[in-house]
Structure 1
Amino acid sequence: MRISLALLFAVVLQLPAENGYAQRTHVAISMNNVSVEQILNKIEETSDYVFFYNDKTIQKNRIVSVRNKSGKILDILDDIFKGTDITYTVVDKQIILSTNKMQLVQQEGQIQVKGVVKDAGGDPLIGVNVKVKDSTVGTITDINGNFSLQAKKGDVLEVSYVGYATKTVRVQNAQVLNIVLTEDTEVLNEVVVTALGIKKEAKSLSYNVQQVSNDEITRIADANFVNNLNGKVAGVTINSSSAGVGGSSRVVMRGTKSLNGNNNALYVVDGIPMSDMSAASTQPTDSYEGAGQSGDPISGLNPEDIESISVLSGPSAAALYGSAAANGVVMITTKKGREGRTSVSISNNTTFSAPLVLPEFQNTYGQTEVGSYYSWGSKLNTPSSYDPKDFFQTGVNVTNAASLSTGTDKNQTYLSLGTTNANGIIHNNDYERYNVTVRNVAKMLKDKLTLDLSFMLSSVKEQNMTSQGLYYNPLVPLYLFPAGDDFSKVQAYQRYDSERNLLTQYWPYSTSLALQNPYWITEHIKIPNHKNRYMATASAKYDFADWINVTARAKMDRNNERRERMYDAGTNTLFASKYGYYSKSNIENQQIYGELLLNINKYFVDNTLNLTANVGANFENNDYQSDYFGGKLKSVANLFTFGNVDTSEKNLANQYGYHLKKRAIFGSAQIGYKSMAYLDVTARNDWSSTFKGTNTGSFFYPSIGLSGIITDIFRCSTDIMPYMKVRVSYSEVGNSPDVFLAIPTYALVDGV
């Protein structure tokens, strides 16, 4: 740091007294083969002293070793600067390093200004522009958010970052500046989460990444928060199923890619992919049935636990995930404890729902004939007053959440509880979800090792998840009800059968379509499901230096489901005997995932060049098992047990399962030039067990991209066009074969 002669004179006058203070301050240090800068930083961390020096004068990258047990700061400085022309002076709690040639007096009034820039959550911001107002002096922050530049007392620093409000700070003295930037909601965030959970500057990406904050997905509560992304992400189509409240959603990015395969996006939570539960998807086993499931892997997550969502909609963006991400990726970053504060959050969100638009029905002409669904008969004397809207009820969704966040600089803890209780607009379409989340992040080994442990539990109970189809769907007979007939008579949907001594269904219309009374479907055909999901995740990150680290992650994701079907006596005999029908299936799905990743992020040549590189490998094992038993009841009406199932029927039992293995190696590299131009390269090779029996053993997925910020390269920024970027990319992705597709098998048939 350059300071004036007057300040140096004051230093000399105070030197003897302050040397005495320095000698009384003890900071024992033992460090081998480290830079001078690291030792100076260590002294600043463990004492009240702050160093000031000129980077060009002090060789801060010079490697030295220190073993000082006395802890006297001046003795430590004698050791590290032995044999050099560096001298030091002490003023209060400031230590000024200089040379014997008095190089400090080069630019009168100039001081070295250091600082760190962070966001509101305490995380460092990379690539922030720090500029002396009305001058050409400026710099950008490094990977830890630190910056350093020359300025004069009274100068104003402008701190700007895309996605954050610009902040100005006046230079008062040479103390370290701690600057906190707040998000600007009118612009996009500068740092986004990309593949493998890696944070990058948005302007550096050669592909499309869109980020959505927690506020956007919790503003209006939905039993499945994925539906709240609708209309917020360009190029993404979100189709919520007709299964009712809590039903799954299909996320399709940039159009359908497969005619008969899975087109849904891959969900990734904190860098780890979630298992694909397509085998337990929302589609019923029979295309005519209407019994759906909330089977997508993300629907059981508590939306209050989510920090942000990044959508990687292009193949280049998702190339590091290989075949699993051929349809794009939805990256979810969850919350963790905050350092230095304890906070408790309690929230409630209650919403009501009702049908917005219903089909228009003609009410002028009556039935074609008695018992028919067709209404091509004579013109009615009085137009029909039938309105199917009367069948629906007001839906209610009540979401409660409570969370605790606490932590120190060494340990942060996050705990949350959540409940969702919802009733759909169709009676008996009910959904309940209970969530528990615990996460702890701890630092050890002098902050070089970071351990992140989390556990999530989700318990879901759902009933009558009505889906598209003909059977068991109350909307089909409701909409086909013939105009001119009296709907009130079928509202009394059950009549007493004196011969059987029980209530049976009343539906005086044609059975050719196997339709039933809509009220009977909702009240006497019960399809409950119960799901328990456990997700345990562990990760460890070791920092070899501030620019290189290795990360290991592991996850166990287990899902247990119980599905039942209970049709009361009186149900159409196409589906049940005169006593009823009962079936039960148990489904177990487990994913074991492991990953090892080396990360590099370093600036070179006075922050002119930046290299971000990642190399790693992962494995994934998926086990799926389904057991089914059920059939028509044989003797006792409405006794739903296995013992009451008629075993003379065919197809009573079924077993299905598979064990899927995936192995992969991957890598990526990005080179940036002056934060204006970037070159991206990624590569991944997958080995999947579904290739067994084929001539193909693996697939290779490369991508390359180039992007440039035109307004920065040509300095052509204007008020009309303050920011312009051009990017081009090429990638190759694909899907691995479905399970058993490469080795076809044939079902066993009785008597063959």
Structure 2
Amino acid sequence: MLKTAICEWLVRRSNHHITKIMLVMKLTTLFLTVGILTVCARGVSQHVTFKGEKVSLKSVFKSVEKQTDFLFLYPESALRSSKPVSLNAQNLPLEQFLAEVFKSQPLEYTIKGKSIFVSPKVAAPKQEGISDPPADTLIWVIGKVQDERGGPVIGASVAVKGTELGTTTNTNGEFAFRNVSTHAILVISSIGFEKEEVKVNKGSLKITLSKSTSELGEVTVSTGYQQIDRRRLTSAITTLKAKDILSAGMFSIDQALEGRVPGLFVMNPSGDIGVAPKIRIRGTSTLLGNREPVWVVDGVVVNDPVNIDPASINDLDFVNRLGNAISGLKPFDIEQIDILKDASATALYGVRAANGVIVITTKKGKTGAPVVNFNQSTSIVQRSHYTDANVNVMNSRQRIDFSRDLIDKGLNYSDHINYVGYEGALTKLYNGEYSYEAFQQDVHRMETINTDWFDVILHNAVSTQNNLSVSGGNEKTKYFASVGAATQRSTIRGDKIDQYSALIKLNTALSSRLTWELNFRGNTEKRDFVSSSVNALSYAYNTSRAVPAYNEGGDLNYYKRYSSSASDYFRFNILNEMAHSRNNIDASGLALNTNLNYKLNKHLNGTLLLSFNNNNTEDRTAYEENTFSAAEIRLSEYGMPADPARTTMPYGGEYRSSNVRNRSYLVRGQANFTHPVGVNKRDQLDITMGGEMSSNQYNGLKMIRRGYMKDRGQIFAPVDPVKYPKYAEWSTINNMDQITNNLTNIVSGYLATAYTFNDKYILNFNTRTDFSNKFGSRSREKFLPTWSVSGRWDIDKDFFKNSRAVNMMALKASYGYQGNMLDNQTPDLIINQGSLDPISEEYYSTIAYYPNPNLKWEKNGELNIGLDFSLFNNKIQGTVNYFDKKTENAFLDKRVADINGLTTYVVNSGTIRNKGVEIALSFMPINNLGPKGGGNGFSWRIDPQLGQVLNSILSNSINHYGLNKYLGSLNANLYNDYLTGNQTVNGKAVNTFYSYAFNGLDHKTGKPTFKNDDEALRDKYRSEEPDDVFRQVMVPTGNRIPTIQGGILNTFSYKGFALSFNLAYSLGSKIRLTKLYTATDQQLNSGVAAPMPENNVRLEFENRWRKPGDEAFTNISALIGGRDFSQTLSHWSMSYPFSYAKNMWEMYDNADIRVVSGSYLKLRTINFRYTLPDHLNKYLNIKAANVMFSAMNVHTWASKDLHGQDPEQTGFGDMIQVSPRPTYSFTIDVSF
């Protein structure tokens, strides 16, 4: 009838189009009304089936909760007066069922949303006409806590101020109280939100919490396997937001960690571009294994692109230009960094994580309209200058005067002197090549030329970073995509890195239960460096300023330089070498992760993660035919024919190539279970368990070719082996490609459980076990699970509930056990199969690894105790941790006679201990930003960090006693391990180095003397063991690694302006001063003390000993010549089966007086940012914008005894590295 009536009405209107529109509108309204009513009806008309006699009311509630979506909320005291229930209900509507249950109970209920609130019945007021309760009436309060977007805040703490009454919100953000005064004040708090206080003036409340502006409260911790609410954290984890630590000019996230993480120490072997820093977390846990932490990106462990052996990685002087695991990840794409430090935090990573884990989470899309962001940064890096404090060398006039003094003293010069400088001019004069007047003119020219080698070799470098991203999405699908291009220029001319990268992240809900996430990362880069053998920066530091770079015509000035390997002179110019001796590294990486998450119910979900990573690295080094290096190999000058009987490279140059491909796969299945339990659901059980299979493979190919001709199309000249027999001999041995293959497969299972009691006590247990193809049968303990137990007590919830001073205080403790095994140790003999031996004409092999079937696990046990706190309305926040980590059965190298085929053998024979304190604080002395942190007032924040690590070797049962007669020449340089800090000594820290004990300058000659170095001790030392002798002539002089590192960050903000500066400090390390005597071993062995004429000399020689009595004022040795000098050239211990020094000058450069403090305070970064106000953004039609000026490595305060030497340059290496240079950057960031 309705349809007929409508149609008749439509006919009367006689308008076909209007008829159709009205019909659709009315039908739509009808259907929507019916649908809404249906949904509302379903909400309260769910049916319940129950049968029971004298069943407790609580049991009835549990039955209803299982059959419906409703949750009962009630104070425990309310059920004490409840009566047993006897009821037989079959598919009864919920409202009707509840009416039957409560009809004889002294209780009443209220339904709000999906919650049923139960409370004792209260008699109705006797007076009539009163709609609002009196001021002192006790009322029933129902509320909901939500965030700024309207979403429920789950687990928020709701307390009645001044009372013991408190509860937490349910999964819908709801809570309820009975018998609350209308004068009462509710205190609502939740991690990540500002605390709110709300007056109770009505029975129903809706409370909105604002995001917290405090750092400790606004983040969720990621361990790679789990996302943990910080209030449930039982482990030692430091969390950083990338935006808070990054500065313009930083091209890798590891550059930003210095001074920002307590217990994490950063050491920079070089400040040049592309060099990976050394990172130690809580000290050194292994002596032979890799000491670097594990890197994890978006839940997947990432590997170094090139498998560098641990000995090189651990070497503090090793400069890694090949990159580390995160070299291809641009900082702009990073959202958060979590540093996992204790055994509880790292347990799920198994045997790989004894050195800590750094978890990186990249950015992802957010719900909302698309946001396009463009970020551009330009940086200028300042080169070194002679006026810098750390360049302490002579100018050209001083160097000429020094040469005159050398000649006057009669010091011996090499027979193969380079004909430059004052010595070269004097030689020409003696040889009659020009007159005395011409000689004087030449010397005067050299005195005034003052070549600026730093300007010749270095320049102020300009680098750029460009990043473009887009993000957005809706409730179903979110996306984030970015592309970036970066160009880094080194202060060394010609050195650069060009990098391109992309990131795509997609997260979509395939259904109400199933979500899918896709993560793609890709990068490619080209690195172009001067070959390390050229050592351009050392040349700039060490070359006399009296040597010209260009001749008078403006062309390159070549001089004859002696080659010790070729025993001949060849022309040399550093700029020619830099241009034609290049090291090129091409690298590319691809990572693809996909993650499926299925939500079985509100308590249980499962994930399946699939990951694939592929890295390719091609490392090429070429010495073109016109270089000094090629001439040394060719044994002839460029352009001159080579001697067929002697040369190993008749034509062209040398080309070296190393290609490494790294592929890794990961399959992980994981189940996550979370369920509230206990009274009022205030207890919670969390279980994460899973298993994974991973495979990591390195395939390598190395080759060396000679006859390389770059200018002729990069071809290799053919060589006649008959005409050039030495080339044929070299080619037979070296011209063989080397293929390597390293495969590691691991199957693992893991479990993490946590139980929260009464919302304030948490107990956690983690365990993992690994099975690998690397384990084999090499140990009697093949199975060693990693495990940890930890706990947390929220002290504030017991003792400071209503305290205004204490906002949060929690005590944490953990203990865990981890194992470690070296990949290169196996139960079987491993050999390197060599090529054909040209003499025996048979194939040969060498021993790679000795069989080691009884090697046991290296075991690490760690205790951690920590305190987190927030005081005075979050104005003071902090974390304090104490840790004690002990490594037993540590791997050590035992020296063996080379008759075994190897000189060392790995054994379990050491105990290492690392203990220390970590302190991270945050102060907010001034905060006028308003309650939500979004105001324009002035604020000042201080974030000091401190990490102390005390390291020691408790036991080292290895001894080499009784081996002297077997070791022979092997012992010749054993003392170098003491000098460089590579020797393990009981009771000393790892990397403790020794130095010769200086005993002053000789009164008559000014030469250095040393304690316990008298030749009269020859017979005594001959009967003693090497280690005993070394410890008598040397003394421990410190550790190469600092014991304390940290930083102090200050941040000021006012309206749209923000200024921050970070001071980084390092304390406790010792370093050697740069060597005074740069003469080569060949010079010293041939009786030559004087530096080569092309070499510069440090200004310290200006204060050298010149006459008897000067030893009271200086420790700089005299210039010694003649017989006195010849006596210093070969140390008398060189005649032993072992020696402790080559000569007196080696002893002097490594004496204790040449050791100074490496402690420093550095102004690491300064950032000044201006954020455009909203009205200006609206005028420009953009969403947001800011501009920033940044400065890095601004100034360093260090010991005056360094004489300007950079404290981060350890002085142990032969090469001088680029120090961290001042960098100034300008950045613009715009969002559309």
**What TM-score do you get using the length of structure 1 for normalisation?**
0.79
Q: 1:213: Cα distance to partner?
A: 0.2
Corresponding residue of 2:887: none
Cα pair 2:162 2:802 within 8 Å, conserved: no
AA aligned opposite 1:694:
R
Q: Which of 686, 697, 704 is 1:623 aligned to? A: 697
Cα pair 1:243 1:465 within 8 Å, conserved: no
Cα pair 1:580 1:638 within 8 Å, conserved: no
Q: Which of 494, 508, 519 is 1:454 aligned to? A: 519
- Secondary structure of the residue that 1:464 maps to in structure 2? strand
Q: 1:656: Cα distance to partner?
A: 0.7
Cα pair 2:195 2:209 within 8 Å, conserved: no
CA distance in 1 between partners of 2:148 and 2:560 (Å): 68
Q: 1:599: Cα distance to partner?
A: 1.7
**Residue 651 (str. 1) matches residue 679 (str. 2):** no
- Secondary structure of the residue that 1:734 maps to in structure 2? strand
Deviation track 1:34-81 (CA, whole Å, cap 9, x = no partner) reads 975699869xxxxxxxx999788999xx9xxx999xxxxxx9655775
Cα pair 2:420 2:559 within 8 Å, conserved: no
- Please identify which structure carries the higher helix content: 2
Q: Which of 384, 388, 393 is 1:361 aligned to? A: 393
**Residue 686 (str. 1) matches residue 770 (str. 2):** yes
Corresponding residue of 2:1031: none
- Secondary structure of the residue that 1:26 maps to in structure 2? helix
Corresponding residue of 1:402: 468
Following superposition of structure 1 onto structure 2, how do residues 198-347 of structure 1 map, counting pairs within 5 Å? 198-240=226-268, 242=270, 244-277=272-305, 279=307, 292-347=320-375
Relative distance call for 1:38 and 1:157 in structure 2 (3 A) is: farther
Identify the structure with bigger relative contact order (alpha carbons < 8 Å, sequence gap 6+). Answer: 2
**Residue 613 (str. 1) matches residue 613 (str. 2):** no
Q: 1:479: Cα distance to partner?
A: 1.7
- Secondary structure of the residue that 1:188 maps to in structure 2? helix
Corresponding residue of 1:749: 835
**Residue 417 (str. 1) matches residue 483 (str. 2):** yes
Q: Give the share of equivalent positions with the same residue, in percent.
A: 20
Deviation track 1:139-183 (CA, whole Å, cap 9, x = no partner) reads 3345x5724132677865433345643334566766673634323
Name the stretch that deviates more: 382-391 or 678-687. 382-391
Cα pair 1:372 1:482 within 8 Å, conserved: no
CA distance in 2 between partners of 1:209 and 1:100 (Å): 43
Deviation track 1:614-671 (CA, whole Å, cap 9, x = no partner) reads 2111111012111233322167866423576998423231111122101111112222
Cα pair 1:194 1:209 within 8 Å, conserved: no
Q: Which of 500, 504, 524 is 1:438 aligned to? A: 504
AA aligned opposite 1:612:
D
CA distance in 1 between partners of 2:166 and 2:119 (Å): 29
Cα pair 2:142 2:205 within 8 Å, conserved: yes
CA distance in 1 between partners of 2:421 and 2:784 (Å): 55
CA distance in 2 between partners of 1:109 and 1:23 (Å): 40
- Secondary structure of the residue that 2:669 maps to in structure 1? strand
Relative distance call for 1:513 and 1:310 in structure 2 (3 A) is: farther
Relative distance call for 1:258 and 1:300 in structure 2 (3 A) is: same
CA distance in 2 between partners of 1:215 and 1:540 (Å): 29
**Which runs of 5 or more structure 1 residues have no equivalent in the other structure?**
1-20, 43-50, 69-74, 496-505
Corresponding residue of 1:149: 176
**Residue 552 (str. 1) matches residue 608 (str. 2):** yes
Corresponding residue of 1:482: 544
Following superposition of structure 1 onto structure 2, how do residues 669-708 of structure 1 map, counting pairs within 5 Å? 669-695=753-779, 696-708=781-793
Relative distance call for 1:255 and 1:655 in structure 2 (3 A) is: same
AA aligned opposite 2:188:
V
CA distance in 2 between partners of 1:24 and 1:716 (Å): 44
CA distance in 2 between partners of 1:476 and 1:522 (Å): 13
Relative distance call for 1:662 and 1:169 in structure 2 (3 A) is: same
Relative distance call for 1:334 and 1:156 in structure 2 (3 A) is: farther
Name the stretch that deviates more: 404-413 or 703-712. 703-712
Deviation track 1:13-36 (CA, whole Å, cap 9, x = no partner) reads xxxxxxxx9997122859899975
CA distance in 1 between partners of 2:530 and 2:186 (Å): 59
Name the stretch that deviates more: 392-401 or 81-90. 81-90
Cα pair 2:212 2:218 within 8 Å, conserved: no
**Residue 584 (str. 1) matches residue 652 (str. 2):** no
Corresponding residue of 2:748: 664
Deviation track 1:251-306 (CA, whole Å, cap 9, x = no partner) reads 22112233333111111122221134451589989x99998533211111132222
Relative distance call for 1:480 and 1:671 in structure 2 (3 A) is: same
Q: 1:221: Cα distance to partner?
A: 3.8
Relative distance call for 1:401 and 1:100 in structure 2 (3 A) is: closer
Relative distance call for 1:717 and 1:434 in structure 2 (3 A) is: farther
Relative distance call for 1:113 and 1:417 in structure 2 (3 A) is: farther
CA distance in 2 between partners of 1:644 and 1:291 (Å): 35
**Residue 511 (str. 1) matches residue 563 (str. 2):** yes
Name the stretch that deviates more: 484-493 or 144-153. 484-493
Larger radius of gyration: 2
CA distance in 2 between partners of 1:476 and 1:114 (Å): 72
**Which runs of 5 or more structure 2 residues have no equivalent in the other structure?**
1-32, 49-61, 126-132, 407-412, 427-442, 635-648, 721-726, 838-842, 844-1232
Q: 1:568: Cα distance to partner?
A: 1.9
Deviation track 1:86-115 (CA, whole Å, cap 9, x = no partner) reads 899999x99997999966969966344332
Relative distance call for 1:23 and 1:319 in structure 2 (3 A) is: closer
Cα pair 2:507 2:515 within 8 Å, conserved: yes
Cα pair 2:239 2:337 within 8 Å, conserved: yes
Corresponding residue of 2:599: 543
Name the stretch that deviates more: 129-138 or 709-718. 709-718
AA aligned opposite 2:482:
S
AA aligned opposite 1:601:
T
Corresponding residue of 1:25: 37
Relative distance call for 1:711 and 1:656 in structure 2 (3 A) is: same
Q: 1:352: Cα distance to partner?
A: 1.7
Corresponding residue of 1:598: 671
CA distance in 2 between partners of 1:240 and 1:95 (Å): 58
Deviation track 1:715-741 (CA, whole Å, cap 9, x = no partner) reads 399777765544332222232322465
AA aligned opposite 2:194:
A
Corresponding residue of 1:129: 157
CA distance in 2 between partners of 1:476 and 1:676 (Å): 60
Q: 1:489: Cα distance to partner?
A: 5.0
Q: CA RMSD in A?
A: 4.5
Relative distance call for 1:745 and 1:169 in structure 2 (3 A) is: farther
CA distance in 2 between partners of 1:673 and 1:510 (Å): 78
Cα pair 1:256 1:263 within 8 Å, conserved: yes
CA distance in 2 between partners of 1:136 and 1:375 (Å): 90
Corresponding residue of 1:14: none
Q: 1:241: Cα distance to partner?
A: 5.0
- Secondary structure of the residue that 2:351 maps to in structure 1? helix
Cα pair 1:36 1:80 within 8 Å, conserved: no
Name the stretch that deviates more: 144-153 or 662-671. 144-153
- Secondary structure of the residue that 2:752 maps to in structure 1? strand
Q: Which of 687, 692, 706 is 1:632 aligned to? A: 706
AA aligned opposite 2:814:
S
CA distance in 2 between partners of 1:307 and 1:279 (Å): 28
Corresponding residue of 1:18: none
AA aligned opposite 2:418:
G
CA distance in 2 between partners of 1:519 and 1:585 (Å): 26
